[in-house]
Amino acid sequence: MSFRNTPLAVIHDVDKATLLTPELRAEIDKHVAKYPPEWKQSAVMPALTLVQDHNGGWLSRELMDQVAAYLDMPETAVYEVATFYAMYDLEPVGRHKVCVCNSVSCRLGGAEELMHHIEKKYNVAPGGTTADGKLTFKEFECLGACRHAPAVMVDKVYHECVTPEAIDKIIDDLD
């Protein structure tokens, strides 16, 4: 399922007009205030991040449309940002995100072994979510920790020099 055909019902049967709560709008406004009024669209990335976090880790088309309307920008411009950056998910995800860096440095440092381990032990392919909904496993293009490969980001927390044993402990400690 892509954002183009995500049914609104998937996001808890809420009224489209109330997708951006007053609290979310206030948080977005803090980012908008960092830019000149005519550049408020520059807050699109923090706005999408806030909305995604509020929505259980993913962005529906309706939410992206609301962000576009709130920032007074074309919907397609918001879709372009959300589809370009790997940090945004356009389908429902697990309660936790495990992102393994797949850059050359991390692959040379053991990322492939780590990814195979996660696939086998947790029965989830990259881009998938475990049957129990606990975690979504993603390959991520460069986490910027080449010196300490392989790098993994779990729920926005970076882990470096990760081994299969270390990732098991990290995942076991979730929830």
The answer to whether 99 is annotated as binding is: no
Which residues share a beta bridge with 99? 138, 153
Structure tokens at 104: 């050359």
Q: Determine the Cα–Cα distance for residues 68 and 26; give it in Å rounded to an integer.
A: 16
The answer to whether 142 is annotated as binding is: yes
Structure tokens at 151: 């790098």
How does 64-73 read in b/e, with b if 16+ C-beta sit within 10 Å?
A: bbbbbebbeb
Annotated binding-site ranges: 101, 106, 142, 146
Annotated binding-site ranges for [2Fe-2S] cluster: 101, 106, 142, 146
